[in-house]
Structure 1
Amino acid sequence: ADWLLPYTSISTVLRPWLLAAPSGPILELGCGTSSLARELVADGFSEVTACDYSVVAIERAKSHHDGVAGLTFAVEDARRLSFGDSSFASVVDKGTLDAICTGEGYDYEAKLVGSEVARVLVPGGRWACLSLMPPSVVRPL
């Protein structure tokens, strides 16, 4: 199930924005059971990794999207990613920052996510953060 909006509702903005980024792999941060990564591959993005903190969500996503060329899944914590530096041209986060930043200390958690995204992005890479968080929280990241 998709959180926030389905790809069909955001593709007219997201697709050109991703195409303007350096060419290369895309990371979907906090995929849950969404079909976003599969839809990105279907829309011409040839290498997408979808990750989530939940083992159950990743297992379910794998079972629904098994065999899609160019699509891989990984169990990852957005605050401590295991990917190497400069591994992705773009990162797409559709509500993950919102889910992580609940309760006290959310600003610290947001900074952890922001620093990890910056670390795994190539120079000039792009982070598409679709969030309900106020711009005053998201922009500094």
Structure 2
Amino acid sequence: MPDILLTPPLQRLQTQFGMPVLDETAAAAPGVVLLFLPSHARVHLETPDIAAVLPDLAALCAARLNGTSAAVPVSGAIATAALEARLVRETGDLSLPALVLLNQGEVLGNIARMRDWGDYATRLATMLAPLTSQPESAS
């Protein structure tokens, strides 16, 4: 089976948008990371579609977090086959391809398969809600 990381949509995420390939969630950049699980085990028709909107979804998350008291960096990343398999096992029943939302390397939630924009916006807002409703520290 060909290496999915070498496909043009995933290469574009790496070269044009600087998204790293992660083998552990602990290796994620600080802040919020949208981790793409592209379905390494089998070719999936939705993988290029999610790859195409991933940079826009990261921008949506950044805009959602913009109003918080502390700036939270938001980025994207791609899971290796090993990390993808581990996250699928840990979630119990995650259909691929999928996005996993991380905060400081910890899983906040996931969105399986390709969705329409409104569904992504609603689901991401729900997952980001704990970060946007944190009380400001006392001066």
> How high is the TM-score relative to the length of structure 1?
0.29
Q: Which has the higher contact order (CA 8 A, sep 6+)?
A: 2
Q: Which has the higher helix share?
A: 2
Bigger-Rg structure (1/2): 2
> How high is the TM-score relative to the length of structure 2?
0.29
